[in-house]
């Protein structure tokens, strides 16, 4: 493993249980820091209400860690907006925020408009399709930001079970992550190979930093933010926090193919200066102490066209 990635992993990987909501509420009160939570939502009627309610009960009413919970409705055709509002969220529609900029489809658009529609110094993004959501997710994401001024952006890491018709595969989820995003990141941005879940939809950042980078409109938004924020603030300003396990609703293989296409477009638009890709691939295993990185050499050797070999052989004979 590259020494810089090894150092970063040890220095910038945290566990959500390191903080309590009460401690962080006191930290942010003494700093005068405000916190917004943004949930992008497209047709998430079955799950959005429970997530909003859990955050509001634990982190607005019981302990004052969060100032506002905003659901950004990304053009839902179900009752997402009504359910979110009934649970206590402020609901905005992507079409009504910055109307002069129009509305383009996709998750990243909802996040970008959510950034505009909120006012917190710290902004926490949480997907609205999570199942069994725990408000400690928000506490964990805020922990590094409220306790270390050098950190500007924090991404979630977690185990990702895959729920299938046959049952639950404990670490079968994150298929786009494993098959596309991680290999791409390792090849072209190996300094970011320590991110266990580069596509995680739960992350938090300082507004002053988030407002300096573009937001890709679709599913490339996480990949783009990671690369762009590292470029803007440096890898040491980025951190990850272990939230345990995360379950969500899965998309079809065909939909994941389209997601992968958007991530590929995002990566190609940011491709670093030409040069050989890094041949190391870091993958991660869950251990009793957290996660362990496993390094693989994925370099390939190009054999010449057989015709040229035969021609060379003939000329030698
Ligand atoms: O046009 C859209 C599409 C999705 N969403 C919301 O965005 C969140 C995540 O979308 P989802 O379709 O559930 O994505 P996943 O299949 O979970 O994809 C993973 O990988 C994506 C690519 O990086 C990330 O954007 C996701 O957060 C991450 O969970 C959910 O709340 C959606 O309702 C929108 O608001 N608008
Ligand atoms: O992050 C990913 O790789 C995609 O969201 C797919 O996740 P899933 O395999 O858990 O559905």
Non-local (6+) Cβ contacts of 200 within 8 A are: 155, 156, 157, 158, 222, 246
pLDDT confidence band for 116 (50 / 70 / 90): very high
Q: State yes or no: ipTM above 0.90.
A: yes
What residues does ligand 2 touch, defined as CB less than 6 Å away?
160, 162, 173-177, 199, 250-251, 256
Atom of ligand 1 nearest to the CA of 218: 1
- Average pLDDT of the residues in 100-118: 97
What residues does ligand 1 touch, defined as CB less than 6 Å away?
40-42, 44, 74, 105-107, 110, 127-129, 199, 201, 219, 222, 248, 251, 259
Q: DSSP state, 282? A: E
Looking at the DSSP assignment, which residues form a beta bridge with residue 14? 241
1.10.10.10, 3.40.50.300, 3.90.1170.50, 3.90.550.10: CATH of 3-316: 3.90.550.10
Residue nearest to atom 5 of ligand 2 (CA): 174
> Which of 2-11, 31-40, 90-99, 158-167 is predicted least confidently?
158-167
Looking at the DSSP assignment, which residues form a beta bridge with residue 34? none
Q: Which pLDDT value is given to residue 282? A: 97
Atom of ligand 1 nearest to the CA of 105: 1
Cα 93 to ligand 2 centroid, rounded to whole Å? 25
pTM of the full structure: 0.96
Q: What is the mean pLDDT of the chain?
A: 95
Q: Check pLDDT > 80 for residue 67.
A: yes
């Amino acid at each position: 493993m590259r020494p810089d990635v090894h150092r970063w992993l040890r220095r910038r990987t945290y566990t959500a249980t390191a903080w309590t909501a009460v401690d962080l509420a006191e930290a942010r009160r003494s700093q005068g820091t405000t916190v917004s939570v943004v949930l992008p939502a497209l047709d998430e009627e079955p799950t959005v209400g429970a997530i909003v309610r859990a955050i509001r009960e634990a982190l607005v009413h019981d302990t004052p860690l969060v100032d506002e919970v905003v659901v950004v409705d990304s053009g839902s055709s179900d009752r997402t907006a009504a359910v979110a509002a009934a649970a206590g969220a402020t609901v905005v529609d992507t079409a009504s925020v910055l109307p002069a900029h129009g509305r383009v489809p996709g998750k990243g658009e909802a996040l970008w408009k959510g950034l505009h529609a909120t006012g917190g110094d710290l902004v926490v993004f949480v997907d609205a399709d999570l199942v069994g959501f725990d408000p400690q997710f928000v506490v964990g994401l805020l922990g590094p930001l409220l306790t270390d001024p050098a950190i500007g952006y924090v991404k979630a890491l977690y185990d990702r079970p895959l729920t299938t018709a046959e049952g639950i595969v404990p670490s079968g989820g994150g298929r786009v992550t494993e098959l596309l995003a991680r290999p791409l990141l390792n090849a072209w941005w190996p300094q970011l190979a320590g991110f266990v879940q580069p596509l995680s939809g739960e992350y938090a950042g300082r507004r002053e930093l988030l407002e300096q980078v573009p937001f890709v409109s679709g599913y490339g938004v996480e990949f783009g933010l990671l690369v762009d924020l590292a470029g803007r603030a440096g890898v040491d300003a980025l951190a990850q926090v272990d939230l345990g396990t995360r379950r969500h609703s899965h998309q079809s293989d065909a939909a994941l193919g389209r997601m992968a296409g958007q991530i590929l477009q995002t990566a190609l638009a940011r491709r670093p200066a030409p040069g050989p890709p890094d041949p190391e691939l870091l993958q991660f295993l869950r251990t009793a102490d957290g996660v362990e990185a496993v390094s693989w050499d994925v370099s390939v050797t190009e054999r010449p066209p057989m015709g040229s070999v035969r021609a060379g052989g003939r000329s030698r004979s």
